[in-house]
Structure formats: C-alpha cells, structure tokens
Amino acid sequence: MRRKPAWRLARLDRLEWRHRIGEVTRPPAYALHD
C-alpha cells in the first residue's frame, strides 16, 4: 500500500491552516457595519 509523500501532506496542512487562520482573523462583516 502506498503512502502519500510527507511533503505533500505538510503542504496541504499548511494551506488548510492558512485558510482557517485567515477565516478566523478576518474581521466579521457585521463588525464593519457597526
């Protein structure tokens, strides 16, 4: 059975974390219209 390359898994994790952090740190729309 084949395993995915570690660098590929790390790359996907990094992209997903960046996306999640971007979602969390981005100011909510309702805060801008306060």
- Domain membership of residue 12 (yes or no) is yes
- Domain membership of residue 23 (yes or no) is yes
Q: What pLDDT sits at residue 33? A: 56
Distance CA 8, CA 1 (A): 17
Q: What pLDDT sits at residue 2? A: 75
Spell out the SS3 assignment of the chain. CCCCCHHHHHHHHHHHHHHHHHHHHCCCHHHHCC
Residue reference for tokens 């898994």: 9
The total domain count for the chain is 1
Q: What pLDDT sits at residue 10? A: 72
**What does pLDDT average to in each consecutive run of 10 residues of the chain (34 residues)?**
70 76 67 56
- Give the residue numbers spanning the domain of 25: 7-34
